Amino acid sequence: MALRCIPVIVLASLLIACTSNQNPQEVREKTAQATAQLKSDAKAVAQGVKEGWNRDKPLDINSATKDQIESLPGITGVDADKIISNRTYDTPVDLVNRGVLSKSKYDRISDRLTAKH
């Protein structure tokens, strides 16, 4: 991904330099701004790809981090803390059986969970 950004940065720099009579400091500042924006965009794309890959994999409630648990739809930080503090689980439905999650919350995420030992 970084290699793809290099030609864009070079092109942006050339366009900025050729389209106006700016001093070198202004050109450097605009190039730095364009580079920072490209880095931000590249990070966002990478995060989206990562989330897409992980979306198809069930989340192991016995080893998932708080952030991973909170990424599930409708799950709050309080819910994640309860899930973590009541580990270990034999099956995901233990979340309901132990009163960790309501049946409605569990139903929203049940297809995304697993409980490995």
Domain ranges of the chain: 2-55, 59-114
pLDDT of 27 reads 84
pLDDT digits (tens, 9 = 90+) for 4-56: 666 667 666 666 656 556 688 888 888 889 888 888 887 777 777 666 655 67
pLDDT of 57 reads 85
Among candidate residues 66, 58, 53, 114, the one with its CA nearest the CA of residue 89: 114
- The number of beta carbons lying within 10 Å of the beta carbon of residue 9 is 14
Looking at domain 59-114, which CATH architecture does it have?
Orthogonal Bundle (1.10)
Distance CA 34, CA 76 (A): 36
Prediction pTM value: 0.54
Give the DSSP letter of residue 112. G
Q: Is 59 helix (H, G, I), strand (E, B) or coil?
A: strand
pLDDT of 31 reads 86
From the number of C-beta atoms within 10 Å of its C-beta (0-12, 13-18, 19+), residue 113 rates as buried
In the chain, how long is the greatest CA-to-CA distance? 71
Distance CA 117, CA 107 (A): 22
pLDDT digits (tens, 9 = 90+) for 80-106: 999 999 999 999 999 999 999 999 999
